[in-house]
A = this chain, B = another copy of it.
Amino acid sequence: MSQIKTMKELADLAGVTTGTVSRALSDSPLISPKTRERLQALAREHGFKPNLLARNLRTQRTGAIGVLIPLGHEKGQHISDPFFITMLGYLADELTERGYDLLLSRVIPEDENWLDQYVGSGKIDGLIIIGQSNQSETLDEVAARYRPMVVWGGHAPGQAHCTVGSDNILGGDMAAQHLIDRGCQRIAFFGDPQALEIAQRLEGCKRALARAGLADKLTVLPAHLVAEAAHPDIAGFLGSVSERPQGIFAASDVIAMSALRALAEYGLAVPGDVKVVGYDGLAIGEQTVPRLTSISQDLRLGATTMVDLLLRRIAGEEAGSVVLDPKLIVRMSS
């Protein structure tokens, strides 16, 4: 019952060669059922697990997918951000279900070839990147020579990298339209449009307002994405603004939560005095007081789609970007 660590040991024990053991353990048809049984039993008995590194080296696949979170324009942003975390959870579920491991790295894009560190190191079969941050050009460049890569984020015409994300313009439109339907005339947008996704949401928001003839009633506050940083932004805004907005469209649920808190601190009732709509549809929106109305992105579907596309790209197929439908979830804050 000594510890069997390698195929050689097991082979010697059974009086065969490593080739035979390898075939027996992988249910090769080239092996007789009898010896297969015998070797599998022996392996089980001694708790033998083949070394995956060696296998991967030989087969040239690692069984791991890299997940990268580039933190370009928001240094303070943490992996523990609810959005990342939610997406990460879904990805982990999806990947482990298909037999892949998930290699997680947080990257601060400092030197320019931060992506090349990963790609071609042989550790991963493919790459999923959560959020474009402000690195769209780098992503485009790498996408040209590294195929198995999928990015969560906004899709723009002429973009070279494969993305999955919701229709941010439509989503922004829906959010603003909902506020208008609820009677809001003055609307504030909270979010920094230097990120592509947020810029698109703002664009949709403007479109809806223009349609309703309220184009000049919009205020844009480039709030931070990180909750701790967003709160002072918002509190400052609420304290200084002359005409209070009747509706707030926050570019993410995290920003919306900060807004809810700031509003409560100013003694403003939600949705009585101010109505609030977020974006993402995170589960955490169920737990706020009041529960948060939001544009939902169906991140589970997004994760599934990203993994699908990625595996097809790994297999050598062509697979283009996918734009998902956003959905308005009306809860209590509007």
B102 touches A104 (CB 8 A): yes
Nearest CB on B from A281, distance (A) = 13
Interface size on A, residues (CB 8 A): 54
A283 to B257, CA, bound (A): 12
A228 to B257, CA, bound (A): 19
Interface string of A66-109 (1 = CB under 8 A from B): 00000000000011111011101110110010000111111000
A53 touches B57 (CB 8 A): yes
A80 touches B283 (CB 8 A): yes
Whether A23 sits at the interface, judged by CB under 8 Å, is no
The residues of B that contact A228 with a CB separation of less than 8 Å are 283, 286
Chain B: CB-nearest residue to A56: B53
Whether A289 sits at the interface, judged by CB under 8 Å, is yes
Nearest CB on B from A168, distance (A) = 22
Nearest CB on B from A263, distance (A) = 9
A105 to B96, CA, bound (A): 7
Interface string of A107-148 (1 = CB under 8 A from B): 000000100110011110000000000000000000000000
The residues of B that contact A227 with a CB separation of less than 8 Å are 283, 286-287
The residues of B that contact A121 with a CB separation of less than 8 Å are 49-52
A226 to B122, CA, bound (A): 38
The residues of B that contact A315 with a CB separation of less than 8 Å are none
Contact of A82 among B5, B85, B104, B105 (CB under 8 A): B85
Whether A1 sits at the interface, judged by CB under 8 Å, is no
The 5 nearest A-B residue pairs measured at CB: A80-B89, A85-B85, A79-B89, A51-B122, A289-B289
Given contacts A47-B113, A54-B122, 11 further A-B contacts (CB under 8 A): A51-B122, A53-B56, A80-B89, A80-B90, A82-B85, A84-B89, A101-B105, A102-B105, A227-B287, A228-B286, A264-B290
Taking Cβ atoms with an 8 Å cutoff, the residues of A that contact B are: 5, 47, 49-54, 56-57, 62, 64, 78-82, 84-86, 88-90, 92-93, 96, 101-106, 113, 116-117, 120-123, 227-228, 257-258, 260-261, 264, 283-284, 286-291
Give 19 CB contacts A-B under 8 Å.
A47-B113, A47-B116, A52-B123, A53-B53, A53-B56, A53-B123, A57-B57, A79-B93, A80-B88, A80-B89, A80-B283, A82-B284, A88-B88, A92-B105, A92-B106, A228-B283, A261-B286, A261-B291, A288-B288
